[in-house]
């Protein structure tokens, strides 16, 4: 796992393909009662217009029960919520799961420490998805 402090993103290597990794993320999140709001297939949409890009898909998910108190306390965090997980393949064929760290979101939006746990709860689920 590597965190890039300048942009707050965490990148986890996955041993699976993009679709398999995303399916695993979605399954783990759903099992924990997390709502899946959307799945965006960037590379699939690119292909529809004759463009090519490595497999890249975005999952948008969250929990209104957990996210709403955070947005009430720090309204600008709504620009970054629901949470997102990006699964993508790099130029060398390696698959990655990337997401914004809870600490980054806390600092970016001045989220009270007591509410950061609402966002951080997803971290072990995402880590589990790439095992």
| CATH code 3.30.310.70 for 13-123 | yes
DSSP 59-113: EEEE-HHHHHHHHHHSGGGGGT-SEEEEEEE-TTS-EEEEEE-HHHHHHHHT--H
- Please write the tens of the pLDDT for every residue from 26-37: 999 999 999 999
Q: Where are the domains of the chain?
A: 13-123
pLDDT tens profile 67-113: 999 999 999 999 999 999 999 999 999 999 999 999 999 999 999 99
* pLDDT attached to residue 5: 55
How far is C-alpha 70 from the chain's CA centre? 17
Distance between CA atoms of 78 and 25, rounded to whole angstroms?
22
């Amino acid at each position: 796992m590597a965190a890039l402090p300048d942009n707050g993103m965490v990148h986890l290597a996955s041993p699976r393909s993009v679709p398999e990794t995303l399916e695993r993320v979605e399954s783990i999140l759903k099992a924990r009662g997390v709502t899946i709001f959307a799945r965006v297939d960037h590379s699939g949409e690119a292909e529809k217009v004759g463009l090519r890009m490595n497999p890249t898909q975005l999952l948008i998910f969250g929990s209104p029960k957990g996210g709403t108190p955070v947005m009430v306390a720090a309204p600008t965090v709504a620009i970054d919520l629901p949470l997102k997980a990006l699964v993508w393949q790099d130029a060398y064929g390696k698959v990655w799961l990337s997401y914004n760290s809870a600490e980054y979101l806390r600092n970016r939006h001045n989220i009270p420490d007591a509410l950061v746990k609402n966002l951080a709860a997803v971290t072990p689920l995402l880590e589990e998805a790439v095992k």
